[in-house]
Copies of this chain bind each other. A is one copy, B any other.
Amino acid sequence: MSEYLPGLAGVSATKSNISDIDGARGLLAYRGYPIEELARHSTFEETTLLLLDGELPRQGELDAFDHELRANRKVKFQIREMMKYLPATGHPMEMLQSAVASLGMFYPGNGRLAGAAGGEDTDYVHNMTVKINARMGTLVAMWEHIRHGYDPIPPREDLTYAENFLYMLNGREPDPLLARILDVCLILHAEHTINASTFSVLVTGSTLASPYAVIAAAIGTLSGPLHGGANQKVVEMLQEIGSPERAAAYVDRRLGDKQVIWGMGHREYKTKDPRATILQGLMGKLIEARGGDVNPLFEIAQAVERVCEDRLAEKGVYANVDFYSGVLYTEMGFPVDEFTSIFAVARSAGWLAHWREQLADNRIFRPTQMYTGKARRPYMPIQERA
């Protein structure tokens, strides 16, 4: 029996080819490609295919995949009708877990995982990957309308993933700059090695459960406040601060009370989170393009950032990806409590890549326990219990 390490901290739970973090140097790469280059040159669709297949696609491969994604955005009316029975007060992540699990009932076939060599039936795995990734955005946008009592806006096939998501949410032609910023946000959130939700994918996937059961499990894990939801906290913090002048006092009070500043610092990175630098640049571009006519949260965020840089940079604590994404999502019209669902839409790419990797060399997860409970004792009749 091995030493017990709470949370399996530092324990290798898998071998993986998908992504790599160099926290000391502030580097993140998907399949070897630096995140900065993917953010500059790639799209969410291409990055998803890269994560899944391991190589950047040729034009024909990308076109075929993109075509499949577009054709698979529609969601059956049964799912829509079911959503109408869900309470509007329920959390969007709970809706998403339930809806993805339901979807699986319409696409049976995980028996095909068990039979094939290496545990993998390529056609089934590919088809389900496309179906899940394409529909995640639709489900999230549908719920935003349904929970307010309105009919959802059907997806369009003539738009990119990011454009169509904005369209389904707002019902307007998407602003090209916001669509590109969302595209980059999706790229940046698509994958980040093994965290709790991705680990869930491996554990649930290892029993050869259907990919819907697997992604539903990961959504459940991501829904916990210790995992997803930091960008929601950032926006709530900025709203609480209320104006740029109050940033310094707020930050100093929090630091004095030894409390975290939401969106500052990251467990994995000792230098600045490379994704934060990218989003910071995009935020600057957006402010410039709008001639400063942006949501007041931008100005508050910039003030908080300046104060934090002054107080925390020497400790290696910088703004992380969540600090900017929440502000940008607000500008795109996403309600705060939908942020984690949008994270899930993006991360479905990485989750599905890890699911495929797990299947290719599968072994069921069956760790052991240290029993620390009572020794054997005889049953005691209820009358004799003190």
Contacts and interface: CB of A to CB of B under 8 A. Distances in A.
B214 A220 contact: yes
Interface string A8-36: 11111111111110000001010111100
Interface in A249-298: none
Interface stretch (A100-108, A127-135, A155-163, A304-312): A100-108
A11 B2 contact: yes
Contacts of A58: 382, 385-386
Interface stretch (A313-321, A328-336, A370-378): A370-378
Copies of this chain, tallied across the complex: 2
B374 A32 contact: yes
A222 B214 CA distance: 11
A365 B59 contact: no
Contact of A216 (B85, B216, B369): B216
A224 B203 contact: no
B385 A13 contact: no
A56 B14 contact: no
A223 B104 CA distance: 12
Nearest to A80: B85
Contacts of A6: 361, 363
A177 interface: no
A42 interface: yes
Contacts of A95: 105
